[in-house]
Amino acid sequence: MKIVAQTERVANYEQVHARRRELSRLLRAHGLTDPRLRNDGAIVVTASSYRGLAEAAVPAEELLGAHVRLIIDTAPDALTDALTPL
């Protein structure tokens, strides 16, 4: 079992948007599609299971140096914020 270091910082919109191309490639490599960025910095994705979310979380955090909130689009309230394609 991997031990994941948690950061207290949460990536905001500007941080995620600045690395959007790299994040988009990373998410797609883990089977996550249609990535959209919410105004609060969370990334909403389409996924067939939660496994891809779990697998993408650590490399996304390493890329930004902050926790990246990944939300599956079927989750309640996932799509309530304005979304920008990633």
Q: Is residue 2 part of a domain?
A: no
- Alpha carbons 39 and 23: distance in angstroms, whole number: 16
Q: Is residue 23 part of a domain?
A: yes
Q: Is residue 43 part of a domain?
A: yes
Domain count, the chain: 1
pLDDT digits (tens, 9 = 90+) for 14-40: 999 999 999 999 999 999 999 999 999
* pLDDT score recorded for residue 4: 53
- Alpha carbons 25 and 13: distance in angstroms, whole number: 18
Q: Is residue 7 part of a domain?
A: no
Q: Is residue 20 part of a domain?
A: yes
Which residues fall within 8 angstroms of residue 38, CB to CB, at 6 or more apart? 13, 44, 71, 81, 82, 83
Domain that holds residue 45: 13-85
If DSSP codes are grouped into helix, strand and coil, which group holds residue 56? Answer: helix
Kindly tell me if the per-residue pLDDT of 79 is higher than 90: no
- Report pTM: 0.86
pLDDT digits (tens, 9 = 90+) for 45-69: 999 889 999 999 999 999 999 999 9
pLDDT digits (tens, 9 = 90+) for 5-17: 554 799 999 999 9
Q: Is residue 6 part of a domain?
A: no
* pLDDT score recorded for residue 1: 46
Q: Which residues pair with 70 in a beta bridge?
A: 43
